[in-house]
Structure formats: C-alpha cells, structure tokens
Amino acid sequence: MIRKLLTIGLPFLSPFIVYLIWWWTTRRRALAEAEGRKVAPWEDMPWIWLISAGAALAATALIVTAVLSGGDPFAEYQTPRFEDGKIVPGRVGQ
C-alpha cells in the first residue's frame, strides 16, 4: 500500500501541494503590502527557497530509497567473475 502511495499518489499530488504553497505565500505577501508592512528581504530571493526545497527533496529521496530498497544495508557486493569457462554475474549478499 505504501508503495502505491509513493509511486502513484505522491507524484500526482505534489503539483497541487506546490501550487497551494505558492498561492499561500503570494497571498500573504500581497496582504502584507496592502497593509503597508515591509516585506522581509529574504522573501524577495526565491533562490534560497528553491535551493532549500531541492536539498530537502534530494535528502528525502535518498532516505526513502535506502529505507524501501528491501536489501540488507550491510551486505557485501560480489563482483562478476569467471568460473569454469562461464561468467558468473555480480550480486549483493552471500
């Protein structure tokens, strides 16, 4: 069930979530400007938000991949080798 949620549900819902966050921040900024309040300087720089969001998504993807891979994280990789005239493919584990 979690696999379907992560592979189907999350990619489907992510654009809506991003749009909702964008809409909320722009509305909040417009209300602040209408009330005459000064907007914080960091809100004028979208690069900080973009870099932070990209780093968070990359970290999340790495963690989810490590947790959901299903393999033993401490297993050793055995390289492909040549035995009895045949190539034995590489594998993880014993």
Instruction: State yes or no: pLDDT of 10 exceeds 90.
Output: no
CB-based contacts of 78, cutoff 8 Å, min separation 6: 90, 91, 92, 93
Instruction: Supply φ then ψ for residue 77, to 5 degrees.
Output: -85, 130
pLDDT at 12: 87
For the residues 69-75, what does the mean pLDDT come to?
Answer: 79
Instruction: Name the β-bridge partners of 91.
Output: 78
Report the run of H or E that residue 83 belongs to, with start and end: strand 81-83
- Map out the domains of the chain as residue ranges: 1-43
pLDDT value at residue 94? 64
Q: What is the pLDDT of residues 11-59, one digit of tens each?
A: 888 889 989 988 888 888 888 888 888 877 766 677 777 788 889 989 9
